[in-house]
Amino acid sequence: MAEQLVIDPLTRIEGHLRIELEHENKQIKTAWSETTQWRGLEQILVGRDPRDAWAFAQRICGVCTSVHAIASVNAVENAIGSNPPAQAKLIRDMVLASQEVQDHVIHFYHLHALDFVNVANAAKGDPAKAVAFAGQIGSKWKGNTVERMSEVRDTVQGILDSGQLSIFSGGYWTHPDYRLPPEADLMAVAHYLDALDFQRSMIRINTVFGGKNPHPNFLVGGMACTIDQNRSESVNQVQIDQIKVWVDETLAFVRDCYVPDALAIAGVYKDYFDIGAAQPNYLAVGMAGATFAGDPRTARVDATGHYAVKPGVILNNDFSNVLEFDPAKITEDIASAWYKYSDGGTSLAPAVGETEVEYTGPKPPYKWLAGTKEYTWCKAPRYDGNVVQVGPVARVVMAYAQGHPRTVEIVDSAVKTLGISLPQINSTAGRTLARAVECLTSAELLAEHTFPAFVANIKNGDIDVFDATKWDPSSWEYECSGYSFVEVARGNLSHWVSIKNGHIERYQCVVPTTWLAGGRDAAGKQGPYEESLAGNGKHPLVDPAQPLEPLRTIHSFDPCMSCAVHVFDADGIETAVAS
């Protein structure tokens, strides 16, 4: 007889996610993805000046800040007819690239790797053998020295001896399915710590162009920064030289440290290429960083590498048939969510979407939510009625299907090394691998195209970053609407805005995690999180007290519900914590 398990809160993510499972014979049989936090930012935006929308929208998350701001300004620009200058677009591209690479690095090392890397075991590692192991997997990272590995081993041992594991508290370090040898664990923990310094350094690119981070400054019609070689408060030669250093360091870390680590871990946990498959349907409007103000089929397209891959949809793993992407086919279903639509139905297009609360769940604290029809605050986006995956895995298969040379080269090499097939990328390990592949192509594009193009334009005298022709509301139509699509770290992001008499009348965001974390729709089709855990009834769960296997799968999506907090019951006790 199936037993119930609740993982709440599921940690090492952004926001509040509760997973309820039914399991039997060490396998998951049924799953529910439950977002237990509601914030209502879309309603907060109604009635405001559209030119200020980005400042509110980027507060959706404290991590994915820039991406929402850029999606917002593009949606408003699409509505009012503004067309930012080329340099402003390139600055936004660089901000997106730095945000994306930082996000992928943080996800792999600080949110996901500890599902496979046993920190406690690292204290047993031999520093010289750890360096040798790094060389065997092709890692050329400058931190692969005996001195560094010795320092990290001693640090880990000191933490263990203290009995206070600090950032490593709550891990399931006694779980039997940790497989790496001590030297590999030691190397990985060293790289975990190196990644903390790296991600802090490279995100400074956002600070140069946005003035601060998180929540950099943006501007409808362009960018708020100025370019002037003779002024210290503007983007000048000193800052450009520093950005060049950060860009080069970014590429080196991703190429020499992140990608080899990801391949090595995937090779040891190779069976996870057959675990955690979601629906074999994929949606992407291009490679990471692709940005469109309006319909990607007709919107302005700049001559950058982001657009080497066309928008498309792939269904049923048919990589030979990339379907044309049509924004009009996107809907949001609320059959399992605590909302209501004014027409009484369960599905609306985001252009006319609504965010009206109708909570029907039990009064907290609750022990089991899945017994009710509605069990989440997360809507369930669908494309032409299909459940689709978005994110790195969708973008990588889309690029591969369209013959993008660099993606094909990296994927073919990884597939050969690991001994897997392309369809197996739809899996727990596949999503992790896809993120590493994309991080490398994104870092290369930033270093080899986007940043050099920005510098070349300055040399040619192009320093314009703002289009003022549509700034004044008197230049807008009395009623207008627009939308944008941006491929960001976690997947496809779109913002939809309707403006009337100079103010926001309606605002909707369809974010990557909404596509992935949404629950069952009116037809009973479960969302990607749910499918990945219970699609075939064979997902492993060895020890319900240490639910490491479902954590591996859900973490592979990199959930982002917003900044996480613990959940307490009425007596102030944590209901459960999954680390």
Question: Each residue of 126-159: pLDDT tens digit?
Answer: 999 999 999 999 999 999 999 999 999 999 999 9
Question: Each residue of 83-125: pLDDT tens digit?
Answer: 999 999 999 999 999 999 999 999 999 999 999 999 999 999 9
Closest by Cα among 530, 266, 176 to 376: 530
Is 572 exposed, middle or buried, given 0-12, 13-18 or 19+ CB atoms closer than 10 A?
Answer: exposed
Kindly report the backbone phi and psi dihedral angles of residue 190, in degrees, each rounded to the nearest multiple of 5, phi listed first.
-60, -45
How confident is residue 526, by pLDDT bands cut at 50, 70 and 90? very high
Domain count, the chain: 1
Instruction: Look at residue 562 and tell me whether its pLDDT is greater than 70.
Output: no
Give dist(CA 500, CA 498) in Å, integer: 7
How crowded is residue 579: how many other Cβ atoms within 10 Å of its Cβ?
Answer: 16
Residue 364 belongs to a domain: no
Give the pLDDT confidence score for residue 301 in this predicted structure: 62
More confident residue, 37 or 398: 398
Neighbouring-strand partners of residue 487:
492
| Structural contact between residues 102 and 202, judged by C-beta atoms closer than 8 angstroms | yes
Give the pLDDT confidence score for residue 304 in this predicted structure: 63
Instruction: Look at residue 569 and tell me whether its pLDDT is greater than 60.
Output: no
How confident is residue 60, by pLDDT bands cut at 50, 70 and 90? confident
Give the pLDDT confidence score for residue 568 in this predicted structure: 32
Residue 433 belongs to a domain: yes
| Structural contact between residues 455 and 447, judged by C-beta atoms closer than 8 angstroms | no
Residues listed for the chain: 579
CA distance readout (Å), 144 to 45, 132, 138, 188, 337: 49, 9, 11, 10, 48
Q: Quick one: average pLDDT of 443-457?
A: 97
Give the pLDDT confidence score for residue 579 in this predicted structure: 37
What pTM was computed for the model?
Answer: 0.94
3-class SS of residue 477: coil
Helices of type H across 426-521:
428-445, 451-459, 512-517
Q: What is the average pLDDT score of the chain?
A: 93
Residue 64 belongs to a domain: yes
CA distance readout (Å), 506 to 88, 338, 368: 27, 19, 34
The DSSP annotation for 132-174 comes to HHHHHTT---TT-SHHHHHHHHHHHHHHHHHT--GGGTT--TT
How crowded is residue 540: how many other Cβ atoms within 10 Å of its Cβ?
Answer: 18
Question: Each residue of 164-180: pLDDT tens digit?
Answer: 888 888 899 999 999 99
Q: Quick one: average pLDDT of 491-507?
A: 97
3-class SS of residue 330: strand
| 386 contact partners, CB below 8 Å, separation of at least 6 | 279, 281, 315
Give dist(CA 66, CA 284) in Å, integer: 19
Residue 355 belongs to a domain: no
Closest by Cα among 180, 194, 32 to 108: 194
Instruction: Look at residue 577 and tell me whether its pLDDT is greater than 70.
Output: no
Give dist(CA 411, CA 269) in Å, integer: 18
How confident is residue 39, by pLDDT bands cut at 50, 70 and 90? confident
Residue 575 belongs to a domain: no
CA distance readout (Å), 89 to 36, 142, 371: 36, 34, 48
Residue 93 belongs to a domain: yes
Residue 400: its H or E element: helix 392-401
Domain of 462 in residue numbering reads as 3-329+384-555
Q: Quick one: average pLDDT of 194-213?
A: 91
Question: Each residue of 238-255: pLDDT tens digit?
Answer: 999 999 999 999 999 999
Give the pLDDT confidence score for residue 167 in this predicted structure: 84
| Structural contact between residues 473 and 502, judged by C-beta atoms closer than 8 angstroms | yes
Give the pLDDT confidence score for residue 561 in this predicted structure: 66
Give dist(CA 152, CA 212) in Å, integer: 32
Residue 369 belongs to a domain: no
Closest by Cα among 14, 110, 9 to 64: 14
| 244 contact partners, CB below 8 Å, separation of at least 6 | 451
Neighbouring-strand partners of residue 34:
18
Give the pLDDT confidence score for residue 565 in this predicted structure: 23
CATH number at residue 549: 1.10.645.10
Closest by Cα among 60, 62, 63 to 72: 60
Residue 316 belongs to a domain: yes
Give dist(CA 326, CA 484) in Å, integer: 13
Neighbouring-strand partners of residue 383:
330, 386
Neighbouring-strand partners of residue 488:
491
Question: Is omega for the bond preceding 260 within 30 degrees of 0, making it cis?
Answer: no
Instruction: Look at residue 575 and tell me whether its pLDDT is greater than 60.
Output: no
Residue 182: its H or E element: helix 182-202
